[in-house]
Amino acid sequence: MKFLLDNWMLISVALISGGMLLWPALTGGAQAGSVTPSEAVQLVNREKAVIVDVCEAPEYAAGHVAGARSAPLSQLEKTLPGLVKNKATPVILVCASGIRSRRAVAVAKRLGYENAHSLAGGLRAWRDASLPVERG
27-82 pLDDT, tens per residue? 555 455 799 999 999 999 999 999 999 999 999 999 999 999 999 999 999 999 99
State the pTM of this model: 0.76
DSSP of 37-80: HHHHHHHHHHH--EEEE-S-HHHHHH-EETTPEE--GGGHHHHH
So what's the pLDDT on residue 30? Answer: 43
Q: Which long-range contacts (CB under 8 A, 24 or more apart) does 76-79 make?
A: 76/104, 76/107, 76/108, 77/107, 77/111
Judged by phi (left if over 0) then psi (alpha if -120 to 50, else beta), residue 126 lies in alpha
Higher pLDDT, 62 or 21: 62
86-135 pLDDT, tens per residue? 999 999 999 999 999 999 999 999 999 999 999 999 999 999 999 999 99
SS3 30: coil
Pairing of strands 64-65, 69-70: unpaired
So what's the pLDDT on residue 49? Answer: 96
